[in-house]
Homo-oligomer: A and B are copies of this chain.
Amino acid sequence: MSGEKEAPQVQEASRRETDAPSSKLAVFSGADALELDSGASLSPWQVAYETYGSLNADRSNAVMICHALTGDQYVASTNPITGKPGWWDRMVGPGRPIDTDRYFVICANVLGGCLGTTGPASTDPKTGRPYGLSLPVLTIRDMVRAQAKLIDHLGIETLFAVAGGSMGGMQVLQWAASYPDRVFAAIPIAASARHSSQNIAFHEVGRQAIMADPNWAGGAYIAKNVRPTKGLSVARMAAHITYMSDESLHRKFGRNLQDRDGLTFGFDADFQIESYLRHQGMTFVDRFDANSYLYVTRAMDYFDLAAEFGGSLPAAFTGTTTRFCVMSFTSDWLFPTPESREVVRALNAAAANVSFVEIDSDRGHDAFLLNVPEMFRTIRGFLTGAAKARGIPAPGGSD
């Protein structure tokens, strides 16, 4: 089990990034207190973010990238804890579909996260100790409110585009619904307007795994200098299965054995899939905070956009002038295509400008993070068209 493994240096780096991130940082207080859906108010609070490219003179070329459950602000640059490249560097960069030669890209760590934006691992300025469970429970709308404060701070009135996959796609839909005049184009990928019962169920298993770990200590593990690595690792393993498709698991692992010629008749990782999952669990605990996992999964569970608009999803988009490009993947069983179609139907009912692409892929939910050329082509084309409409010049002067 992962609990056997200790990585004190990595953990120290992780703790440091929580309050004093390597990335850019904006701190808010006073009039900029964050009013939350729970009724609580957060002040001071902070958001850690990265930017790529340059904001043009009329401030019309900003693209907000929203990250998924365990993502971060390092969308196209090295993660300071893992040393790995940006999580979407195939998508974002010079000449990439979200072209930083043309657009000014912003990516912020979500509220409730653990890489510099205020979250449960952050130091509560009132006590000098980590918030833990004393941080109010957060919602997707709270995350987007925080991002809106950030673009105010950056002097940006309207985003050219908002894009993201999975929980990132939920934020995109929330942006379009909450701030219709501030979003020119929206790209929700592999997402849904509400979290399904099955997805809530998988999240609940993960939370119970974390809370079952005695080292979770009622959420106060940082003060006790322990960490619920075993519970968090089990949570990650369960979740990771849902990110892949049955087909891709079969293709990638099948029933192949791990560095052995036959079954061992024991409980070690005989099969490659077991070894792979254990590795996923082990490496995850080095870069992610267990309480953040509770808060961010809870925010996803609570997401139900129609409920904010009297139960009507079309009402969330009434009168919108935003252009939408909705995308799903055939083998994604976590956010299956019918959930994207429901969004598209609501947008059509609201007479919105929407295109919908279901991409053929056997790689499951994680396809949005992978090398899927049709996704790149679709986003490049959609953004190029929208940029022309918005009057953002192409790099080098032509499209």
Q: Which residues of B contact A336 (CB under 8 A)?
A: 246
Bound form: Cα–Cα A294–B209 in Å: 17
- Asked if A254 and B197 make an inter-chain contact with CB atoms under 8 angstroms apart, the answer reads yes
Candidates B38, B194, B205, B246; contact of A265 at CB < 8 Å: B38
Chain A: interface residue total (CB-CB under 8 A)? 59
Q: Is A274's beta carbon under 8 Å from chain B?
A: yes
The verdict on A273 contacting chain B, using a C-beta distance below 8 Å, is: yes
Is A376 close to B, CB under 8 A?
Answer: no
Q: Which of A197, A211, A281 has the most C-beta atoms of chain B within 10 angstroms of its own C-beta?
A: A197
Any B CB within 8 A of the CB of A263:
yes
Instruction: Contact check, B237 vs A204: say whether CB atoms are below 8 A apart.
Output: yes
- Residues B255 and A197 in contact, CB atoms below 8 Å apart: yes
CB within 8 Å of B: which A171-197 residues: 194-197
Which segment, of A100-108, A144-152, A162-170, A297-305, faces chain B?
A297-305
Query: A271-B200, A271-B301, A274-B204 in contact; A137/B250 too (CB < 8 A)?
Result: no
Contacts of A211 in B (CB 8 A): 1, 267
Least CB distance, A171 to chain B, in whole angstroms: 18
- Stretch of A5-13, A14-22, A227-235, A349-357 lying at the B interface: A227-235
- Residues from chain B with a CB closer than 8 A to the CB of A249 are 196-198, 201
A212 within 8 A of B: yes
Interface residues of A in 257-281 (CB under 8 A from B): 263, 265-267, 269-271, 273-274, 277-278, 281
- Minimum CB–CB distance from A201 to chain B (whole Å) comes to 5
Name which residue of chain B comes closest to A295, CB basis: B267
**Cβ contact of A205, chosen from B208, B237, B298, B304, cutoff 8 A:** B237
With A197-B273, A246-B198, A263-B302 as contacts: A233 and B254 at CB distance below 8 Å: no
For residue A136, CB closer than 8 A to chain B, the reply is yes
**Which residues of A (199-236) have their CB < 8 Å from a CB of B?**
200-202, 204-205, 207-209, 211-214, 230-231, 233-234
Q: Does A68 contact B (CB under 8 A)?
A: no
Across the interface, A238 reaches (CB within 8 A) one of B233, B238, B298, namely: B238
User: With a CB–CB cut-off of 8 A, which chain B residues contact A198?
Assistant: 241, 244, 246, 249-250
Check A95 for interface membership: any CB of B closer than 8 A.
no
A253 at the interface (CB under 8 A from B): yes
Measured between C-beta atoms, what is the minimum distance from A366 to chain B in Å? 14
The docked-state distance in angstroms from the alpha carbon of A101 to that of B263 is 44
A196 in contact with B250 (CB, 8 Å): yes
Is A85 among interface residues, defined by CB-CB distance under 8 A? no
Distance between Cα atoms of A360 and B133 in the complex (Å): 45
Pairwise interchain contact A278-B208, C-beta atoms closer than 8 A: yes
Say which residue of B38, B253, B267 sits within 8 Å of A294 (CB atoms): B267
- Check if A266 sits within 8 Å of B137, measured CB to CB: yes
Residues of chain B with a CB closer than 8 A to A234's CB: 205, 208-209, 212, 234
Does A3 belong to the interface (CB within 8 Å)? yes
Residues of A within 8 A of B (CB): 1, 3, 37-39, 133, 136-137, 194-198, 200-202, 204-205, 207-209, 211-214, 230-231, 233-234, 237-238, 241, 244, 246, 249-250, 252-255, 263, 265-267, 269-271, 273-274, 277-278, 281, 294, 298, 301-302, 304, 333, 336
**Interface CB pairs A-B, < 8 A, 24:** A1-B212, A3-B212, A37-B265, A39-B265, A137-B266, A194-B255, A196-B246, A197-B271, A198-B241, A200-B273, A201-B277, A202-B238, A204-B273, A204-B278, A205-B241, A208-B233, A208-B237, A208-B281, A209-B212, A212-B231, A212-B233, A212-B234, A246-B333, A267-B298
